[in-house]
């Protein structure tokens, strides 16, 4: 089997194996659980597999000569024997802890790929500049995936001191507050008109409507500061906007900075009982009143802190690697820079879909 064939197989197998769903183990008493205390099939298979000796053959492929020269590869008496130790070494490179059911399917595909690789070698497809370029591309993909995996593993090595330091430096992220909020729509809902308005008349109507609601937001803010009930003020805002649906609740609990729009995060800096300024966006106006505030203790958010620190470390490492070599492209050849395509990666050396690095996805 050629090196290129093995590389392509592993790249394809990574995507396939990661997408496969491990067999679930039903809990006792659930539908599908083994009756009369019988062992779960997956567990039984795993137990039997563990009894197989490391040097025992687990795959025997007749008609395929391992590492044979092209003139001997077609010998029907040839065979390739793969021991348990050899097969598990392959699994470790592709997907550690592969479930038994998936493992069997992978073994079948692996054997099939070995047979096709031998036929390709007999046809001389492992020679020539095109093959060499594909081999280079495959090597780049494997190395980039190895780097990605190494970064993930290193980022996950987090001590208690690391957690404590990160928590102290980001304690504001774990502060929660109860709040009340009034939402004032940006404009009024216009009643159905029996006469079609001109563009100029429609623009004037819209502008007047927006001005009315803007003034109303300022009035409601003054009344909120004076201590009037937020629920009552919210109802009045919807009445003036001619919105027939029920107004939203003004109560918001356990709100954090990451639960607010970026331009409204400053609300978290207010003290209990204080009223915010009027915030505005395309949908309307917002007025907040801060209630009880407290910081979640580290022992309660430990897992969350660990995940955040791990993500930050991974992002820092990836950005540092990318910034270490900035490409300069000839625009006369490539054209002007375009918005990045989400999820774009290196083309696969096999001509099929590219393999994503382990763990690559949006949080």
Q: Given this model, what pLDDT does residue 363 score?
A: 39
CA 182 to chain centre: 34
Query: Is position 165 within any domain?
Result: no
In a domain, 334, yes or no: no
Q: How far apart are CA 77 and CA 79, in angstroms?
A: 6
Residue recorded with tokens 């819209």? 206
The answer to whether position 209 is within a domain reads yes
| pLDDT value of residue 72 | 53
This prediction has a pTM of: 0.66
Residue 140 lies in a domain: yes
Residue 206 has pLDDT above 60, yes or no: yes
Q: Give the CA angle between residues 66, 71, 72 to the nearest 5°.
A: 40
Q: Which residue has the tokens 């290196």?
A: 346
**Residue 301: Cβ-neighbour burial (10 angstroms; 0-12, 13-18, 19+):** middle
Chain segment 150-173, per-residue pLDDT in tens: 999 999 999 999 999 999 999 999
DSSP β-ladder status, 57-62 and 279-280 = unpaired
What are the residues whose beta carbons fall under 8 Å from the beta carbon of 25, sequence distance 6 or more?
A: 40, 42, 43
| Cα–Cα distance measured from residue 260 to residue 348, given in angstroms and rounded to the nearest whole number | 41
Residue ranges making up the domain that contains 87: 1-22+40-127
Residues 122 and 147 in one domain: no
The reported pLDDT for the residue numbered 65 is: 82
Residue 89: inside a domain: yes
| Rounded Cα–Cα distance for residues 321 and 262 (Å) | 28
Q: Residues 305-362: pLDDT tens digits? A: 999 999 999 999 999 998 888 889 999 999 988 876 655 556 666 555 444 433 444 4
Q: What is the pLDDT of residues 184-199, one digit of tens each?
A: 999 998 777 677 878 8
Same domain flag for 5 and 55: yes
Domain boundary among 71, 105, 127: 127
pLDDT value for 107: 93
Residue 362 in any domain: the answer is no
pLDDT digits (tens, 9 = 90+) for 38-63: 556 666 777 778 889 999 999 999 88
Average pLDDT rounded to a whole number, residues 242-257 = 95
Q: Which residues contact 247 (CB under 8 A, 6 or more apart)?
A: 183, 234, 235, 237, 238
Q: Which residue has the tokens 């270490």?
A: 324
Q: Convert the pLDDT of each residue in 114-126 to its tens digit.
A: 999 988 988 999 9
Same domain, 279 and 321: no
Q: Does residue 88 belong to any structural domain of this protein?
A: yes
In the chain, which ranges are continuous DSSP H helix?
Answer: 3-19, 41-50, 84-94, 100-122, 129-155, 160-169, 199-225, 230-240, 298-323, 331-334
Looking at the structure, tell me whether residues 62 and 139 fall in a common domain: no
217 and 264 assigned to the same domain: yes
Residue 241 in any domain: the answer is yes
User: What pLDDT sits at residue 154?
Assistant: 94
The most confident of the ranges 12-16, 23-27, 34-38, 231-235 is 231-235
Task: Take residue 198 and report the two structure tokens written for it.
Answer: 């001109």
Whether 218 and 267 map to the same domain: the answer is yes
Least confident span in 53-67, 131-145, 211-225, 332-346: 332-346
Q: What is the pLDDT of residue 346?
A: 60
pLDDT band at 31 (very low <50, low <70, confident <90, very high): very low
Mean pLDDT of 296-305: 96
Instruction: Indicate if 247 and 312 belong to the same structural domain.
Output: no
Integer Cα distance of 22 and 13 in angstroms: 15
Q: What is the DSSP string of 248-292?
A: PP-EEEEE-GGGS-GGGGGGGGSPTT-B---EE-SSEEEEEEEEE
Question: Within this chain, do residues 144 and 61 fall inside the same structural domain, yes or no?
Answer: no
The number of distinct structural domains making up the chain is: 3
* CB-facing half-sphere around the CA of 216: CA atoms within 13 A: 25
**129-155 average pLDDT score:** 93
Instruction: State the burial class of residue 185 (Cβ atoms within 10 Å of its Cβ: 0-12, 13-18, 19+).
Output: buried
Average pLDDT, the chain: 83
Q: What band does 202 get if pLDDT is binned at 50, 70 and 90? A: confident
Which CATH number does the domain housing residue 185 bear? Answer: 3.10.50.40
Q: Same structural domain for residues 18 and 104? A: yes
Q: Is 2 exposed, middle or buried (0-12, 13-18, 19+ CB in 10 A)?
A: middle
Based on the fold, state whether residues 140 and 180 are members of the same structural domain.
no
State whether 108 and 187 are in the same domain: no
> Does one domain contain both 138 and 177?
no
Is 130 a residue whose pLDDT tops 90? yes
pLDDT tens digit sequence for 252-269? 999 999 999 999 999 999
What is the distance between the alpha carbons of residues 167 and 257, in angstroms, rounded to a whole number? 15
Please say whether the beta carbons of 291 and 180 come within 8 A. Answer: yes
pLDDT at 96: 84
């Amino acid at each position: 089997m050629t090196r290129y064939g093995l590389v392509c197989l592993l790249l394809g197998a990574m995507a396939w194996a990661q997408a496969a769903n491990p067999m679930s183990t039903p809990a006792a008493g659930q539908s599908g659980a083994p009756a009369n205390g019988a062992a779960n099939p997956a567990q039984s298979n795993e137990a039997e597999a563990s009894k197989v000796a490391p040097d025992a053959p687990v795959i025997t492929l007749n008609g395929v000569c391992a590492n044979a020269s092209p003139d001997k590869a077609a010998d029907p008496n040839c065979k390739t024997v793969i021991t348990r130790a050899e097969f598990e070494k392959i699994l470790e490179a592709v997907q550690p802890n592969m479930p038994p059911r998936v493992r069997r399917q992978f073994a079948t595909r692996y054997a099939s790929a070995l047979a096709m690789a031998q036929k390709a070698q007999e046809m001389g497809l492992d020679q020539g500049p095109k093959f060499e370029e594909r081999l280079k591309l495959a090597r780049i993909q494997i190395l980039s995936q190895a780097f990605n995996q190494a970064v993930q593993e290193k980022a996950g090595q987090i001590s208690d001191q690391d957690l404590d330091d990160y928590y102290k430096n980001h304690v504001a992220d774990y502060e929660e507050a109860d709040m009340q909020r009034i939402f004032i729509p940006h404009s009024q809902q216009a009643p159905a008109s029996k006469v079609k308005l001109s563009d100029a008349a429609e623009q004037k109507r819209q502008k007047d409507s927006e001005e009315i609601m803007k003034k109303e937001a300022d009035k409601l803010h003054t009344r909120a500061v004076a201590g009037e009930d937020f629920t009552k003020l919210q109802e009045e805002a919807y009445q003036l906007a001619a919105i027939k649906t029920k107004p939203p609740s003004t109560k918001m609990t356990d709100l954090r900075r990451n639960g607010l729009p970026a331009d409204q995060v400053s609300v978290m800096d207010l003290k209990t009982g204080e009223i915010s300024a009027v915030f505005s966006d395309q949908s309307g106006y917002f007025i907040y009143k801060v209630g009880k505030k407290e910081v979640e203790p580290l022992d309660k958010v430990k897992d969350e802190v660990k995940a955040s620190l791990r993500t930050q470390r991974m992002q820092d490492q990836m950005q540092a690697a990318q910034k270490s070599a900035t490409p300069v492209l000839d625009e006369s050849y490539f054209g002007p820079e375009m918005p990045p395509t989400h999820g774009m990666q290196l083309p696969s050396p096999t001509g099929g879909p590219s393999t994503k690095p382990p763990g690559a996805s949006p949080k």
